[in-house]
């Protein structure tokens, strides 16, 4: 059972179309916020630090998750949908925990990063990155919800594995089921 959107989204229902557009917009916002976080962390000159490398790797994974979401919305393959969901859930958890760490222990976290920037300036830059981590955390859960609705709309509209049974009325489906019965039971 895969995630599928029609190649021409214009003939979809209005709610499906709006959800698709919102999904793409939120993924684009996540892309911008994660790349901004990378530039903020690079301004702390964190390259020699292993913690700084993991911090940058978290944002690269966030970008990869948002890109896979955009690809899943446009290509309609289940593989990209699964990759998007896994990457988004993992990065949301890590973004939330990193933001809590940044806001509760900024000085200690900055010391672990081996930054060459003055401590006062480093704390300000780190808290800006922490604020973006909070924004990314919230947006990723919104994107997960929108991805669920996109999959639901695709299922209801019959795009997934011939799921046209959901779209048919109960009367039509009952008449089709009666045709399969033996002759004496057909009415």
The ranges assigned to domains in the chain are 15-155
What mean pLDDT do residues 46-59 have?
Answer: 79
* pLDDT band for position 172 (cuts 50, 70, 90): low
pLDDT for the residue numbered 1: 39
Highest mean pLDDT: which range of 34-43, 65-74, 160-169, 178-187: 34-43
pLDDT, tens digit, 9 for 90 and up, residues 126-159: 899 899 999 999 999 999 898 888 888 777 776 5
Q: How far apart are alpha carbons 134 and 97 in whole angstroms?
A: 9
pLDDT for the residue numbered 38: 87
Chain centre distance of CA 1:
19
What mean pLDDT do residues 43-63 have?
Answer: 81
1-5, 22-26, 92-96, 129-133: least confident range: 1-5
Q: What is the CA radius of gyration of the chain?
A: 23
Give this prediction's pTM.
0.72
Of 90, 42, 44, nearest to 64 by C-alpha is: 90
35-39, 78-82, 83-87, 175-179: least confident range: 175-179
Q: How far apart are alpha carbons 184 and 187 in whole angstroms?
A: 8
Q: How far apart are alpha carbons 57 and 34 in whole angstroms?
A: 11
Task: Say whether pLDDT at 166 is over 50.
Answer: no
Tokens coding 19 = 């959800």
CA angle 77, 80, 86 (to 5 degrees): 140
């Amino acid at each position: 059972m895969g995630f599928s959107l029609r190649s021409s989204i214009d003939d979809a229902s209005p709610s499906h179309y709006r959800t698709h557009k919102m999904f793409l917009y939120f993924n684009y916002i996540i892309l911008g916020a994660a790349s901004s976080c990378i530039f903020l962390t690079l301004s702390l000159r964190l390259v020699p630090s292993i913690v700084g490398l993991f911090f940058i790797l978290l944002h690269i994974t966030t970008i990869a998750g948002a890109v896979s979401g955009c690809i899943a919305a446009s290509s309609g393959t289940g593989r990209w949908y699964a990759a998007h969901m896994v990457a988004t859930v993992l990065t949301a958890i890590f973004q939330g925990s990193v933001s809590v760490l940044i806001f509760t222990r900024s000085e200690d976290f900055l010391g672990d990063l081996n930054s060459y920037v003055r401590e006062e300036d480093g704390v300000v830059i780190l808290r800006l990155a922490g604020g973006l981590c909070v924004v990314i955390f919230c947006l990723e859960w919104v994107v997960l919800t929108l991805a669920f609705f996109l999959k639901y709309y695709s299922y209801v509209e019959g795009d997934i594995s011939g799921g046209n049974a959901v779209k048919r009325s109960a009367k039509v489906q009952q008449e089709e089921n009666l045709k399969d019965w033996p002759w004496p039971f057909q009415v």
